[in-house]
């Protein structure tokens, strides 16, 4: 996690939400302090500790407790607790919860996919189908859920897809140009959709071959044709509902866009101790710790 980048992002998010000042929280005495508890309203996997710690430091709040990323949580479980100026707690709440809920949703979806696949020989990875501006955090959430990351950006690796193949006149030429222009530390991956393309990618000696939109049966047959030194990846249309059928296919990686582009946030709530939603008065908050 790049903490410098994280702080810059959080600063921008606070500017966006607070504007010139939180009018509602401004009604509260600036000297008042409170204890806030964030609890899960759904079962899932928590992710967001770095966000909690960084935002708290920026906003001069004290983190009394926080679950580690990757923790499995149930409805009603305490995720983290904060203490500080009441005004600040409330003006920070929405940015904090939005990010934690989103990241925990990704971690939860990733954990479900890994568990449904139930094949330790195959890595479950994300794609670049992420929310602009949130890629670093979203990919961290995938790791927290037990998955791994595909390339972070376009400069991480060469990925020769269908449009590149068309523009460059074929896989052979595309891989040759990549070998000539890319550094020795930059892997070259080729997406294939036909057996003819697969044979061409093998002959070109790509580092990784991606099988696009193939059935589990096709994957097993195609994987058997690939030399052991070339890694293989399955992608395209694979979801949490279908991933179990890819168990034992022999590929090294399954990449799933669903991990980041269409997850359900893990609902949670922040309540000041002593409020209507809490049974203990705020002034007695220290007694329940």
Where in the sequence numbering do the catalytic residues fall? 94, 129, 161, 191, 212
Q: What is the dihedral of CA 183, 186, 189, 190, to 10 degrees?
A: -10
Distance CA 110, CA 235 (A): 15
CB 162 within 8 A of CB 129: no
CA distance readout (Å), 208 to 83, 159, 165, 228:
49, 9, 15, 11
Cα of 185 vs its chain's centroid, Å: 25
> Is residue 248 classed as helix, strand or coil in its secondary structure?
coil
Quote the tokens at residue 181: 């222009």
Other beta carbons within 10 Å of 51: 26
Other beta carbons within 10 Å of 272: 19
């Amino acid at each position: 996690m790049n903490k410098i980048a994280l702080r810059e992002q959080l600063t921008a998010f606070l500017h966006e939400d607070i504007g010139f000042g939180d009018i509602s929280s401004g009604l509260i005495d600036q000297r008042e302090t409170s204890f806030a508890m964030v609890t899960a309203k759904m079962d899932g996997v928590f992710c967001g500790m770095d966000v909690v710690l960084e935002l708290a430091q920026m906003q001069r709040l004290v983190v009394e407790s926080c679950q580690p990323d990757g923790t499995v949580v149930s409805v009603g479980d305490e995720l983290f607790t904060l203490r500080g100026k009441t005004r600040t707690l409330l003006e920070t709440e929405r940015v904090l919860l939005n990010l934690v809920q989103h990241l925990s949703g990704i971690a939860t979806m990733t954990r479900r996919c890994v568990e449904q696949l139930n094949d330790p020989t195959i890595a479950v990875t994300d794609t670049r189908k992420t929310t602009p501006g949130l890629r670093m955090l979203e990919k961290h959430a995938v790791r927290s859920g037990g998955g791994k990351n595909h390339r972070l950006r376009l400069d991480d690796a060469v990925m020769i897809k269908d449009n590149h193949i068309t523009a460059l006149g074929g896989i052979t030429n595309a891989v040759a140009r990549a070998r000539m222009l890319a550094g020795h530390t930059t892997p070259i991956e080729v997406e294939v959709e036909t057996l003819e393309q697969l044979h061409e990618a093998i002959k070109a000696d790509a580092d990784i071959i991606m099988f696009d939109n193939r059935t589990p049966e096709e994957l097993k047959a195609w994987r058997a044709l690939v030399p052991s030194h070339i890694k293989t990846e399955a992608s395209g249309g694979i979801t949490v509902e279908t991933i179990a059928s890819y168990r034992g296919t022999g590929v090294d990686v399954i990449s799933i866009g669903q991990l980041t582009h269409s997850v359900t946030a893990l609902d949670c709530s922040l309540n000041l101790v002593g409020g209507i939603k809490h049974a203990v008065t705020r002034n007695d908050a220290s007694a329940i710790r």
